[in-house]
């Protein structure tokens, strides 16, 4: 864990005079995983868009100079018959050398030697499974060698070849390319295991700190307003 790469101070976002995010403060250091949790409509995605500079805000969002941000959107607006192959999608952010694309795909567990590799790249984007699409989106964000990945809501438990979850993939990526990750998630179990810090958001900032310190009964009650208990086994709060 090294230097600070993001510092957010008194971040407030208003839409039509209504505060959708209010007074949020946190920092992210190199190599950390920060998880943002909160109920639907709590402003998590809007916060992300502010970090990316896509919506106006007040307060400060200070990125380390020269930092490259990779963004993994929650979904794409493609119908099943949208004429764009997965391989073509990988070149939309600009033409890149083939090796760079292959490297990024390998980083997310799509190896060239695998039978599905070529087949997958020829397939229409709209026909990929959600696990395949998520891996492709991560690979896409990895091209261009980002220092930090902003990941909007990885779905829990997705695995492409039955080998690893998205969270395990993050761990591996962190070890291999020292990636910093900010993710929005509902999967408290995974957050507990994989994140360094947790930011609880419900329009206002509820908490910020180490998962074992802040992920307690009181917080969950505050965030979700129900008697939710966090047990250390698979459960996904998005179902609530």
Q: Which chain residues interact with other proteins by CB under 8 A?
A: 49, 52, 54, 69, 71, 73, 75-78, 81-85, 88-89, 91-94, 122, 124-125, 150
For residue 140, the minimal CB distance to other proteins (Å) is 8
User: Is the CB of 141 or the CB of 189 nearer to other proteins?
Assistant: 141
Integer Cα distance of 91 and 79 in angstroms: 19
Integer Cα distance of 203 and 200 in angstroms: 9
User: Is the CB of 61 or the CB of 76 nearer to other proteins?
Assistant: 76
From the centroid of its chain, how far is CA 196?
A: 14
User: Is the CB of 91 or the CB of 234 nearer to other proteins?
Assistant: 91
Alpha helix ranges (H) inside 24-165: 44-51, 86-89, 98-107, 116-122, 130-142
For residue 38, the minimal CB distance to other proteins (Å) is 19
For residue 67, the minimal CB distance to other proteins (Å) is 13
For residue 120, the minimal CB distance to other proteins (Å) is 13
In which element (H, E) is residue 192 found? helix 188-194
User: Is the CB of 1 or the CB of 77 nearer to other proteins?
Assistant: 77
For residue 69, the minimal CB distance to other proteins (Å) is 7
User: Is the CB of 69 or the CB of 198 nearer to other proteins?
Assistant: 69
Q: Edge-to-edge, what's the strand order for the sheet holding 197-202?
A: 58-63, 4-15, 18-29, 204-209, 197-202, 33-37, 180-184, 148-152, 69-72
From the centroid of its chain, how far is CA 143?
A: 16
Cα distance between the two ends of the chain: 34
């Amino acid at each position: 864990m090294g230097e600070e790469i993001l510092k957010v101070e008194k971040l407030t976002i208003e839409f039509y005079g209504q505060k959708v995010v209010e007074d949020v403060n946190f920092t992210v250091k190199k190599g950390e995983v920060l998880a943002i949790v909160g109920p639907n409509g709590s402003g998590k995605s809007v916060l992300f868009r502010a970090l990316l500079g896509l919506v106006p805000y007040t307060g400060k969002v200070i990125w380390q100079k020269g930092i490259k941000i990779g963004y993994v959107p929650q979904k794409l607006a493609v119908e099943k018959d949208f004429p764009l192959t997965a391989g073509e999608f990988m070149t939309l952010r600009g033409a890149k050398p083939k090796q760079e694309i292959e490297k990024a795909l390998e980083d997310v567990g799509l190896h060239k030697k695998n039978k599905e590799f070529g087949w997958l790249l020829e397939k229409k984007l709209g026909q990929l499974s959600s696990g395949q699409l998520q891996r492709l989106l991560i690979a896409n964000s990895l091209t261009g060698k980002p220092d930090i990945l902003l990941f909007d809501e990885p779905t829990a438990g997705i695995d492409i070849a039955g080998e690893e979850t998205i969270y395990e993939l993050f761990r591996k990526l962190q070890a291999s390319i020292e990636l910093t990750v900010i993710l929005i998630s509902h999967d408290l179990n995974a957050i507990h295991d994989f994140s360094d810090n947790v930011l609880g958001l419900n329009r206002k900032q509820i908490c910020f700190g180490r998962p074992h310190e802040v992920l307690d009964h009181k917080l969950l009650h505050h965030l979700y307003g129900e008697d939710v208990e966090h047990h250390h086994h698979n459960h996904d709060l998005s179902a609530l």
